[in-house]
Amino acid sequence: MDDAAPGPYAAPLVFGQRMQILRQRRGMTRVVLAGLVGKSPSWVKRIENGQLHTPNLEMILRIAEALRVRDLAELTGRTNSMRVDLFTGPGHPRLAAVRDAVNRFPLSVDRAAPPAEHIRARLASAWAARHSAPNHREVVGRLLPDLITDAQLAVRQTESAADRRATQAALSQVYSLSQFFLAYQPDPALLWRVAERGMVAAQESEDPHTIGIAAWLTAQAHRDSGPAHFDAADEVTASTLHYLDPLLRDTTDDVRAITGALQFEAGYTAARRGDPGTAWRYWDPAEKTSRALPGTYFHPVTSFSKAVMGAHAVTIAVELHSGSESVRQAARAEAAVIPSRPRRARHRIEQARGYQLDGQPDVALATLDQAYEAAPETIRYNGYARRIVLEETEASSPDRRRRACELAARIGLLTT
């Protein structure tokens, strides 16, 4: 072969070629991508074949969202212009310390580990602090390194089988807290390592509640990895629900709540697939499960409760790309009743997505302002919120453009 002959990709890849490569890497058909961005399959084909010019910024961002592109440069190729991680937030200052604690196993025992009861009490305090703090990643990131080290040490120092199961349950739930800190940060391998360790420790604990939490987070990790992993997410939720079902007649509110959370997760994945029948069919038993819980009950990990079911309905409608249904559900779901600040902010973001889908960008921006007030760190790390804000920085309305730019500056989108 002539070394001087150019290969098929010797010239820089154009937008359509990049879009096709990313789509195929996700295992997504043109029909699915077209449905997600509101275009026809033939439009997608013509973009990929170079028959149509690169679309405008709004459509680029919609394509990036559908393909779960983590950096716009992957799609545009413009590494020296606008560069923004859409689905990965900025690395938190405490990420390195948390990573070190996860990776460091205490093989040499130079001190006595705290008992499992003590670790569980600290864990409960950490969850309470997370729900009440606007800067919840900072709060959790400060607590995690010592919690991880002590929980790992406690497992190593157990002597009886019962103590080992208890310490494994505590370690698994510490890893669960770690996943909330690591979500949308620029180290997906670390997130998966924590998810897998959390599931292994949960199985070792033989505790149904702990197993349910680990499965709930593992299913989310699979789903957020893209359409090629949806079947794995379904398998995790289905097998865990099958395991929990015989236990529900005589169990705790926590086990009932994690069952309801998993029921919703199955519906969430179906909505991400674009299957409305299955999505709402899973939402119904989750809502029934929530009604069986005490009125003030709020699950400390998943936020599952009566109060959150309205927010879940908004999420399903948004994932199904139904603007009118999203707005209808948003009007019914009152964020003020959700006691967790980060979960309340997440709900506001989902409402904003619904308003954007329904062609109400001014309301969407106002709702994102409310999300920022509830928990700035939630909106700062949320790819959907970042996409809406970035899109509106180029709005035709000067007032909306100004408001979007102000919010973009507050959440760190305009930094270079």
CATH of the domain at 68: 1.10.260.40
Residue at a domain's end among 61, 76, 91: 76
Which tokens belong to 174? 């510490």
Q: How many residues does the chain have?
A: 416
Give which of 69, 60, 62 is closest to 16, Cα–Cα.
Answer: 60
Q: Which of 60-69, 83-92, 325-334, 366-375 has the highest mean pLDDT?
A: 366-375
Query: What b/e readout covers 183-216, taking b as 16+ CB neighbours within 10 angstroms?
Result: bbbebbebbbbbbebbbebbebbebbbbbbbbbb
Virtual CA dihedral for 283, 317, 47, 389, nearest 10 degrees? -120
252 assigned to some structural domain? no
25 assigned to some structural domain? yes
Residue at a domain's end among 76, 93, 118: 76
Give which of 15, 11, 10 is closest to 74, Cα–Cα.
Answer: 15
Q: Which region among 139-153, 218-232, 233-247 has the lowest average model confidence (pLDDT)? A: 218-232
Q: Which region among 85-94, 137-146, 293-302, 313-322 has the lowest average model confidence (pLDDT)? A: 85-94
Reported confidence tier of residue 9, pLDDT bands at 50, 70, 90: very low
Give the span between the Cα atoms of 65 and 62, in whole angstroms.
5
292 assigned to some structural domain? no
- Checking if the pLDDT of 388 tops 70, the result is yes
Residues 232-244 have a mean pLDDT of 98
Give the span between the Cα atoms of 260 and 263, in whole angstroms.
5
Residue 348's domain comprises 305-416
- Checking if the pLDDT of 80 tops 60, the result is no
- Checking if the pLDDT of 222 tops 60, the result is yes
Q: Which long-range contacts (CB under 8 A, 24 or more apart) does 238-242 make?
A: 238/266, 239/215, 240/211, 240/212, 240/215, 240/216, 241/266
Give the span between the Cα atoms of 356 and 249, in whole angstroms.
43
- Checking if the pLDDT of 88 tops 80, the result is no
Q: What is the pLDDT of residue 85?
A: 54
Residues 135-169: tens digit of each pLDDT: 999 999 999 999 999 999 999 999 899 999 999 99
37 assigned to some structural domain? yes
Give which of 390, 269, 386, 262 is closest to 320, Cα–Cα.
Answer: 269
156 assigned to some structural domain? no
Residues 380-406 have a mean pLDDT of 89
Q: Write the DSSP string, 156-190.
A: HT--SHHHHHHHHHHHHHHHHHHHHHHTTSS-HHH
Residue at a domain's end among 59, 76, 93: 76
Residue 7 φ then ψ, to 5°: -75, 175
333 assigned to some structural domain? yes
- What lies within 8 Å, CB to CB, of 38 at 6+ separation is 62, 321
8 assigned to some structural domain? no
278 assigned to some structural domain? no
State the total domains in the chain.
2
Give which of 223, 292, 295, 231 is closest to 257, Cα–Cα.
Answer: 292
Supply the CATH number for residue 346's domain: 1.25.40
Q: What is the pLDDT of residue 67?
A: 83
